[in-house]
Chains A and B, each alone.
Chain A
Amino acid sequence: MERYRILPHTADGKFRAYGRTLEEAFANAALAMASLMWDWRKIEPKIARSVRVTGTDREQLLVKFLGEVVFLLDTQRFLLAAVKDLMIREGPDGWALEAELRGDALSGRYEVYGGVKAVTYHEMRIEASDRVVVQVVVDM
């Protein structure tokens, strides 16, 4: 199955990510966003970073999850290669997500060609029917 598709957007980065489940679609969204900055297929999945975020709704959960990838790049020069064991739960106080991110630290081996500044709610869509589709615009 197609993981994601990059869509045209005048100033920023826009993509749709797909999955059989919300979990799979969120994981693919992280790879789609990474593809705007580096080729995640070429990154060695050597380092693991666990992330845990909460959100009042699914949209906020997605913004904060993708925000972790940007945060790890800025603070630890971490380049995402893969998303493992992503779990989403809906509780009485909202939504929670846990996942393990695999990747490597930025070095001369890798080319980073773009920078995502932030993840936005602009034109965000999360749709679930026979498959889950999420659409995100990121500020570049």
Chain B
Amino acid sequence: MTRSWDQDEARVFVEGLFAKHHGEIYAYLVRMLRDGELAADLTQDAFVKAYKNYDTLEKDENARAWLYQIAHRVALDELRRRKIVRMIPWTGETRGASPSAEHLAMNLRLSGPLERALAQIPERQRAALLFAELNDLSGLELAAAMGVSHVAARAILTRARESLRRALAAEKESERAAEAERDAMFAREARGGR
């Protein structure tokens, strides 16, 4: 059962959606793509797609998960596009000539061990964790947002948790190694200074 597309209705509906959810959609896209500027562009794209496809939403109560489904596909399309054109992996640089203060602040927010661990796990798993833990989607909503069955959503989420644990352990190990290297360097400098 679908609704008919009406321009005014669609506009009002999407404006309401934007008011309620643009912050979480933007945050989700930032954490998926690790690029604030791109996330803003894609947030805009997601709401335009929601407007264009307003008539495909079956029930208003499903609007949030439906919007997440759109945002998820937008994010995966972008990530795929990057892989296909063999772009250089994200390094924290922005597309401008020099990073702005906003971007530096954003990079700082994304540079913690947890964010780095999240960045290391497969995209679909990362999305499942973000949806489930930061956006409080239930199992059924998660399945809907990811476009998979409930069983598959559960499996992806379990794998995601396992992947995150491994990635966090690797991050900790890497931090320990860096710390040991720093200590060794200080010790060398101290010996050299004597």
A, B in one complex: no
Residues of A within 8 A of B (CB): none
Residues of B within 8 A of A (CB): none
